[in-house]
Structure 1
């Protein structure tokens, strides 16, 4: 095997670089923080369900539709997440190192709270909860299409993270 003697951490970084390059080419964006900030959405009756498609300002300032995976779903701007979640997003961008051995493992989506995809499409990362002795309930789940989701109730509900 060609990568037999390459350290795992280097392979992860290289994989992240190739994935980023593929996403940049496919999406036509210019970098990891190029996604525009989102406007606030309203939700219906406290259910967390979005009441409509969120307008997201484009680089030119004109509103555009939210990314396809965020349409019809509750959203949150990355800047509005708890600091611990923003720290995890930065680690994901860097390719680690992660605090928990489960970070980066496949998320099965058994709850079916995220769009259905083949197994291995989603990966989960722990967002530390202050005062918790274990991993707590907060997670960031990433998709191979570049999407990010946040849950603070251990997979019961998710918000699409707009970066």
Structure 2
């Protein structure tokens, strides 16, 4: 058997195994578990500190749950495109990121806390109005 043939056979076997482990693609977005902390499709997230959703202020969990339900959101800016002007998140195409307010008790305005989501299912938290971000593990 040539090396090329061996590679093709190995690739085919890998495809079969992956198909078996993924349930033949039967998982739907509604039935699939949320992504914990993921890699952006357009850049490296390995340099971010990963924090558990449960370790963030309780209002962050409230916002996460609103995002999962699709709203309704308390502010008209919630769900809008986040431009990443600060350049702290991986450099992705416009429309890749969306921002959501994390309520700040006692604040007269939206406050500084946000969750920014990426199209690949990643969640970033900022408690300082985009000066820094942590990658959120939503399953812990």
TM-score, normalised to structure 2, is 0.71
SS at match of 2:121: coil
Moved over 4 A (4+): none
CA–CA distance in structure 1, aligned partners of residues 112 and 70 of structure 2: 22
User: What is residue 19 of structure 2 aligned with on the other side?
Assistant: none
Instruction: Give 2:77's match in structure 1, choosing from 83, 87, 102.
Output: 102
Instruction: Give 1:142's match in structure 2, choosing from 84, 102, 117.
Output: 117
SS at match of 1:118: coil
Q: How many residues align?
A: 108
Larger radius of gyration: 2
Instruction: Give 1:129's match in structure 2, choosing from 104, 108, 120.
Output: 104
User: What is residue 152 of structure 1 aligned with on the other side?
Assistant: 127
Deviation at 1:101, TM superposition (A): 0.5
Deviation at 1:68, TM superposition (A): 3.0
SS at match of 1:88: helix
Deviation at 1:124, TM superposition (A): 0.2
User: What is residue 111 of structure 1 aligned with on the other side?
Assistant: 86
Cα distance change on mapping 1:89 and 1:111 into 2, 3 Å: same
User: What is residue 30 of structure 1 aligned with on the other side?
Assistant: 32
Q: What are the ranges of 5 or more consecutive residues in structure 2 without an aligned counterpart? A: 1-26
Instruction: Give 1:89's match in structure 2, choosing from 49, 58, 64.
Output: 64
Q: What are the ranges of 5 or more consecutive residues in structure 1 without an aligned counterpart? A: 1-19, 36-65
User: What is residue 67 of structure 1 aligned with on the other side?
Assistant: 38
SS at match of 2:66: helix
User: What is residue 23 of structure 2 aligned with on the other side?
Assistant: none
